[in-house]
Chains A and B, each alone.
Chain A
């Protein structure tokens, strides 16, 4: 594929978009990982919501 005399601008534009999209994916993934870890940690220490306790107590 010949991108002509302005190839550097085209490649930089696609590279910048890729970096920003990758950053968004990393942000969402790492955020979820950290939240899951913190929630698991609290639940392991016996801190649960009322609705969760009600669900566990139900026959």
Chain B
């Protein structure tokens, strides 16, 4: 079976049925190992134990951005190739991306209060991430507003591609403007500036979060394919009832 075969919704369903349980198990194992390393990680010399918030805040932030990037690629699949599985992938990713962005905002606030003395400040990084969260809500609302999934997919795809402009703004906001938020310390040209004792648990938690994202995304995509089948059957039933 080649990669292109998975573009068929029925084959994709049988593929997800086969891999989801394994993916969920791998996610659980990755979190168990990740948390054991988080507990064992030393305190930061300046921040003390509050650095432990980083192990959930940073992976959630990465996934919030990654999910919108994935939706942008899917949006191209919708607009250029008009592939229904691209619509499904984009629609399923939106609530998950929104949830990870919300985790990022809440944990960032709770980290900011003891470190900065405030839960919130309107600096470029925090504001651009809040904009990302609001854009997620906008895309979800758009999907729910238009009944026809094909029309909804095209409208959502355009909004997604416009919203993708925010991704480099989020990434480089700490370089372009003077922000309270610290500059990049992991994904940077000169390499990570975090001590390996904190970097290793962070990477392990990021792997666990990514596996969680993949599990939830595949499960949500499977649900969306089922929802479309249900819609088709309901339309067939309505047509039969109307005597056509």
Using a CB–CB distance below 8 Å, which chain A residues touch chain B? Answer: 1-7, 9-10, 12-14, 16-17, 20-21, 23-25, 27-29, 31-32, 35-36, 38-39, 42-43, 45, 47-49, 51
Contacts and interface: CB of A to CB of B under 8 A. Distances in A.
A9 B49 CA distance: 10
30 contacts: A2-B49, A4-B43, A4-B48, A4-B50, A6-B48, A6-B114, A7-B49, A9-B113, A10-B53, A10-B110, A12-B110, A13-B53, A13-B106, A13-B111, A16-B107, A16-B110, A17-B60, A20-B106, A24-B96, A24-B216, A27-B95, A31-B220, A32-B219, A36-B226, A39-B230, A42-B230, A47-B233, A47-B237, A48-B233, A49-B232
Interface string B83-94: 000000000000
Given A9-B114, A13-B57, A45-B237, 11 more contacts: A3-B49, A6-B49, A6-B50, A9-B113, A10-B49, A13-B111, A14-B52, A20-B103, A27-B95, A35-B226, A36-B226
Given A17-B56, A35-B230, A47-B236, A9 B111 contact: yes
Give the secondary structure class of A's interface: helix
B99 interface: yes
Interface residues of B, number: 38
B223 interface: yes
Contact of B227 (A3, A9, A27, A35): A35
A9 B39 CA distance: 16
B24 to A, nearest CB: 9
Interface of B: 10, 39, 43, 48-50, 52-53, 56-57, 60, 95-96, 99, 102-103, 106-107, 110-111, 113-114, 212, 216, 219-220, 222-223, 226-227, 229-230, 232-234, 236-237, 240
